[in-house]
A = this chain, B = another copy of it.
Amino acid sequence: MFQLHPQLSNDCEHIGRFELCELLLMRDANYPWCILVPARADITEIHQLDESDRLLLMRESNYLAETMAKLFTADKMNIAALGNVVPQLHIHHIARHRNDASWPAPVWGKVPARAYTLETLARTVMQLREALRVHLKSA
């Protein structure tokens, strides 16, 4: 039975659900930073998913990356499945800009998370739901 890892629930805002993945927004206003979590129990690696789930993940990841790149006019998308701390499989999708807080370094461990204002958080969530509405099953 799939349950979102408590640290992901705690650090993120829930945006909605794709066919396979839960879509989260990391509460760090330094970067537009989404996370896909395949809603499958006891999976820590992409290659542990079955073939049809791998395909869904690839499609959802590409759709999310392409949409974020446009929506946030990213200079580069950073996409990563790490999971050394939170083992539940989750894939980071971060829209990077040449003038962001950590550029050109990867975002992890570089600068502390910056809190969103409530207004900016609400606007970002709404922008994402609107931009991704074709494939978001619920929001």
Q: Mark A37-80, 1 if CB is under 8 A from B, else 0.
A: 00000001111000000110010011101100100000011111
Report the interface size class on chain A.
20 to 34
A65 in complex: contacting residue of B45, B78, B85, B106, CB < 8 Å: B45
Query: CB distance B78 to A104 under 8 Å?
Result: no
Query: CB distance A96 to B84 under 8 Å?
Result: yes
Number of identical monomers bound together in the oligomeric complex: 2
Bound Cα distance from A116 to B23, whole angstroms: 40
Residues of B within 8 A of A106 (CB): 80, 82, 84, 106, 108-109
Bound Cα distance from A110 to B104, whole angstroms: 14
Q: Which residues of A contact B (CB under 8 A)?
A: 44-47, 54-55, 58, 61-63, 65-66, 69, 76-85, 87, 96, 103-106, 108-110
